[in-house]
Amino acid sequence: MEVQVLGAHNCESTEGRLTSLLIDQVLALDAGGLTSSLSLSAQAKVSAILLTHYHFDHIKDVALIGYYNGLVIGSGLDNKTKMVYSTAEVLDALSAHILNDKIFPDFTRWPSKELAAVKFCPVELYHPQTIEGYRVVAIPVKHSVPTVGFEVTSGDGKAIFYTGDTGPGLSHCWGHISPQLLITEATGSNRFSKKTAEVGHLTPQLLKQELIEFRQLKGYLPKVVLIHISPPLEVVIKEEVAQLAEELGSEISLGYEGMKISI
Ligand SMILES: [Zn+2]
Ligand SMILES: [Zn+2]
């Protein structure tokens, strides 16, 4: 399994993209930086998108990749609908507020009802399902709005757990997963741990407790990559993450745009 970090930040600029990961070029996790990071031919290869929650920095490019796919289908060049998986709450919010025939067309019925650009597929919590040949399980995490993390396991048994945005309290997830790679977030720096936790995010200090609990329960730590970084705090966060890696004696690093991780 190869995981590519498309977007590792919570702001978009020429130096950074919004949160988005891509597994083996076909399965996207969150869509903050999907179209801004990929060529049109690479966008065409993306078959399915898993969304953790409906905050704009995670859903932005669903509309844009859907639009391009609709143009391709409408031109008769391809006939593959992009599958978008998330909880019913997230899909309903997308329909109500983005693909609502006002902000953008309803791509679940365009260019035609029979062959649409996008199909919404609700997922059930804790219920494993097969998506593009991967075993996928959605597990709720604690954020300011309803959010799920996804464990994605390939046919050869390699697994990633991606939390999306999350605050402290990940320990209830740990019993459900056994990943070789954990991708989670470090939105804030340790100085702001209290404030960061209150708005449903993590700092390196807050993450430390979560990882200690993981190791106590599972007897190992996976490789950890941190994204959703706030650009004004990035230099400090990077130093704090290096310190955390040393304290726990484990492989923990900041993600960056273009990073590729093989497990
Ligand atoms: Zn969020
Ligand atoms: Zn976010």
For ligand 2, the distance from its centroid to the CA atom of residue 2, given in whole angstroms, is 23
- Ligand 1 centroid to Cα of residue 210, in Å, is 19
* HSE of 13, CA atoms in CB hemisphere, 13 A: 9
CA of 162 to the centre of ligand 1 (A): 13
Q: How far is the CA of 198 from the centre of ligand 1 (A)?
A: 13
pLDDT value for 198: 98
Q: What is the mean pLDDT of the chain?
A: 98
pTM of this structure: 0.98
Ligand 2 centroid – CA 156 distance (Å): 31
Q: What's the gap in Å between 75 CA and the centre of ligand 2?
A: 34
Ligand nearest to the Cα of 30, by number: 2
Return the pLDDT at 41: 97
* Ligand 2 geometric centre to CA of 69 (Å): 25
Give residue 19 CA to ligand 2 midpoint distance, Å. 7
User: Rounded to the nearest whole angstrom, what is the distance from the C-alpha of residue 42 to the centroid of ligand 1?
Assistant: 26
CA of 58 to the centre of ligand 2 (A): 6
Query: Does the bond joining 111 to the residue before it have cis omega, within 30 degrees of 0?
Result: yes
Say if residues 58 and 30 touch (Cβ distance below 8 Å): yes
Cα(55) to centroid of ligand 1, in Å? 5
Neighbours of 101 (CB within 10 A): 10
Tokens of 13: 């600029």
Ligand nearest to the CA of 18: 2
Judged by its nearest atom, the ligand closest to the C-alpha of residue 227 is 2
Range of the domain at 110: 2-262
Give the number of the ligand closest to the Cα of residue 143: 1
pLDDT in tens, 2-48: 999 999 999 999 999 999 999 999 999 999 999 999 999 999 999 99
Amino acid at 158: K
Q: The CATH number of the domain where 178 resides is what?
A: 3.60.15.10
How many structural domains does the chain have? Answer: 1
DSSP 125: B
CA atoms within 13 A on the CB side of 75: 8
* CA separation for the pair 84, 67 (Å, rounded): 14
Per-residue pLDDT at 34: 97
Grouping H, G, I as helix, E, B as strand and the rest as coil, residue 184 is strand
- In the reported structure, the alpha carbon of residue 10 is separated from the centroid of ligand 1 by a whole-number distance in angstroms of 9
* Ligand in closest contact with the CA of 145: 1
pLDDT score, position 72: 98
The string of pLDDT tens digits covering residues 70-113 is 999 999 999 999 999 999 999 999 999 999 999 999 999 999 99
